[in-house]
Amino acid sequence: MTDKIVVGVDLGGTIVRAGAFDAQGTMLAARETPIEAARGPEAGLRKMQGLIEQVSAESKAKSLVGIGIGASGPVDPIRGTINNPFTLPTWEDVRVVDWMIKAFDVPITLENDADVAALGEYWKGAGQSVQRLYAITLGTGIGTALILDGEIYRGVDGSHPDGGHHLIDPLGPPCYCGLHGCWESLASGTAIAREARQRLKDFPESSLWLNSGGDESRIDAQMVTDAARQGDPLATSVMGKISHYFGLGLANIVLLFTPDMIVLGGSVMKSVDLFLPAIKNTVQEIDVMVPASRILIVPAKLGNLAGMYGAAYTVIKKWNAGVMN
Amino acid sequence: MTDKIVVGVDLGGTIVRAGAFDAQGTMLAARETPIEAARGPEAGLRKMQGLIEQVSAESKAKSLVGIGIGASGPVDPIRGTINNPFTLPTWEDVRVVDWMIKAFDVPITLENDADVAALGEYWKGAGQSVQRLYAITLGTGIGTALILDGEIYRGVDGSHPDGGHHLIDPLGPPCYCGLHGCWESLASGTAIAREARQRLKDFPESSLWLNSGGDESRIDAQMVTDAARQGDPLATSVMGKISHYFGLGLANIVLLFTPDMIVLGGSVMKSVDLFLPAIKNTVQEIDVMVPASRILIVPAKLGNLAGMYGAAYTVIKKWNAGVMN
């Protein structure tokens, strides 16, 4: 039986996950549940609390010594608040750290979800001990994180830079971030679904008609990537366009950061095969100004678990450093 | 009389500068001369050597203990080579460090010119002691540098990331970097001159006709910024477009790095007033996802001297740390 555990929480726009870890980083128990953000922050925080209690109990540990939370941002790690009405509707300035301290009376950390996913890959995944690790999470949106010597790179006042919303094409679609043609608006899971819906009527032979039951609104990114892999003409065309834009954003990351490794994760990146031609093309194109071909570009290893691992790591690092008992 | 000095060299595409500094960073002597790169690396290295000898003598110091060189990149700081046939024609794989060691028998450092200009501003200029300092040098091209806790951020294998060539608009003009519509192709001094030349015939009333003697090829960025400040319609229109693109690139730097401070330097940025409306607009537009309004965006303080200061600092830091005597 393990004496002490920490819990890592990964709060996304759709699902909240919690995992219990011992000091060596072995995952002892894990659970997930829909967050149903629109039902309000209080209901969501209760769910999160319940999940933490559940995995703590299931780990059979004597005591919980800390909780790390990674949340879909913007988050404020210093004030301990989530302010993300964009992908967590109604979640404005939610004091998640205060709530959890009150509930568990242990140290709590709060970080951006892209940062903890990257940390997870640094700690136990594809990027172990990589000095300059850049992580791109391609799911509903696009998240980015830079890990330097195992530490999260932070911006002014501890803020999280948001490379997913950097501009790629001024003629692109509008985004909630305020720009037209940011990376997320052009190359995210949301963009994949939007493109397929908009062009469905031009492809009467597409399998997406059948798969969506003729209801455009049911088309999602998963449906499109599956169809593309089977040679569907609409899905293939959509993925050609999206992966091209993904490659342009990747080129910018390479030019601006030139890291040792770029880790590609997130639900849409399960279909990394569909992106490889564009990625290869990108690297060749920009190998002039920076040594792009020397950068390792690899898929993430921990999948959906990366966020929990990384969130737990933010606490375990302090634990191992003796800051906690 | 000072005992010991270091010399900081700033090698740009047009001018090479050298300055002699004491250990406290006081500039004792400085000189500049055209590099005339196309006459070949050997002629250029001799000029550089002569300049170093001259400022060393003029400083009246007893001994030269080290030389720092900032050069228009790509440079390889580890191998000590400049490989920049783009803005230093004929300079391919030039072993500048070996040459200077042979000539002076002292420690030599080689860095990218944007990096040393940023270091200069960190050491003695606008960004003193700023934790996360991003510097943008807008001249013939666009150079970028990130200084973290007083150290140059480096990419894989010690490389220099090249944010000046990150993509802004896929429909933009081709650039020697291999991309269409990179930042430099859209918002550099070269872009300003190109735009004004291309559109001159549409503006028969423009003062640029007179100022260029009707010879389009004589129009340069300085001529255009001067005319814009006097209300010339062509120059105003050009600067509106260019500063808009500059703002888009700046937005990307803010979104991707969210630093404490952005320092704007370089010859074209002497006209920072012409860029301020676009900069202000940018910051307002992207204050949603990152705390853009909390970033200090300031003009550089050291002007043309920044590169020499920063190049000297790379050596003086080692000197102060006791690595050198």
pLDDT digit string (tens) for B53-62? Answer: 999 999 999 9
For residue range B139-162, list pLDDT tens digits in order. Answer: 989 999 999 999 999 999 989 999
The model's pLDDT over B238-271, given as tens digits with 9 standing for 90+, comes to 999 999 999 999 999 999 999 999 999 999 999 9
Examine residue A20 and state whether it is found in any structural domain, yes or no.
Answer: yes
Residue B193: inside a domain: yes
Mean pLDDT by 10 residues, chain B (325 residues): 89 94 95 95 97 97 96 89 91 96 97 96 97 95 96 94 96 93 97 97 94 91 97 97 97 97 95 94 87 95 95 92 69
pLDDT of residue A322: 76
Per-residue confidence band for A128, with pLDDT thresholds at 50, 70 and 90 = very high
Residues of A in Cβ contact (< 8 Å) with B288: 176-178
CB of A5 within 8 A of CB of A61? Answer: yes
Please judge whether B144 and A256 are an interchain contact, meaning their C-beta atoms are less than 8 angstroms apart.
Answer: yes
A160 close contact with B: CB closer than 8 A = yes
Give the count of domains, chain A: 2
Indicate if A136 and A285 belong to the same structural domain: yes
The C-alpha R_g of chain B, in whole angstroms, comes to 20
Check which CATH number belongs to the domain holding A8 and give it.
Answer: 3.30.420.40
Say if B67 falls within a structural domain: yes
Is residue A133 situated within a structural domain?
yes
A191 shares a domain with A114: no
One domain, residues B9 and B63: yes
**B57 in the same domain as B31:** yes
- Domain co-membership, A167 together with A211: yes
Q: Are residues A97 and A152 in the same domain?
A: no
Residue A61 φ/ψ, nearest 5 degrees: -80, 160
Predicted confidence (pLDDT) at residue A77 exceeds the cutoff of 70: yes
Query: A207 to each of A202, A211, B119, B256, how far by Cα in Å?
Result: 13, 6, 57, 38
Which pLDDT belongs to residue A122? 98
Q: How confident is the model at residue A325 (pLDDT cuts 50, 70, 90)?
A: low
Confidence at residue B325, expressed as pLDDT on a 0 to 100 scale: 54
| pTM over the 0.95 mark | no
A85 touches B: beta carbon within 8 Å: no
CA A133 to chain centre: 15
pLDDT of the residue at B297: 96
* pLDDT range class, residue A2, cuts 50, 70, 90: low
Which one, of B244, B138, B219, lies nearest residue B184 by Cα?
B138
Instruction: Give me the residues paired with residue B7 across strands.
Output: B20, B67
Q: What is the pLDDT of residues A237-288, one digit of tens each?
A: 999 999 999 999 999 999 999 999 999 999 899 999 999 999 999 888 888 8
Residues in chain A closer than 8 A to B74 (CB atoms): 289-290
Q: Do B74 and A169 touch (CB under 8 A)?
A: no
- What angle do the packed helices B221-229 and B189-199 form, to 10 degrees? 70
Contact between B75 and B160 under an 8 Å Cβ cutoff? The reply is yes
* Portion 48-77 of A in contact with B at CB < 8 A: 74
- The shares of helix, strand and coil residues in chain A, as percent rounded to the nearest 5, are 45, 20, 35
The Cα B302–Cα B307 span in angstroms is: 9
Would you state the structure tokens that stand for residue A29, as one six-digit string?
């128990």
Residues B133 and B98 in one domain: no
Residue A325 included in any domain: no
| A159–B295 CB contact, under 8 Å | no
**Nearest in space to A131 (alpha carbons), one of A146, A111, A145:** A146
Computed on alpha carbons and rounded to an integer, the radius of gyration of chain A in Å comes to 20
- Per the structure, the complete domain to which residue B31 belongs is given by 4-113+304-320
Residue of B nearest to A294 (CA): B156
Distance from CA of A48 to the nearest CA of B (A): 25
3-state DSSP call for residue A4?
strand
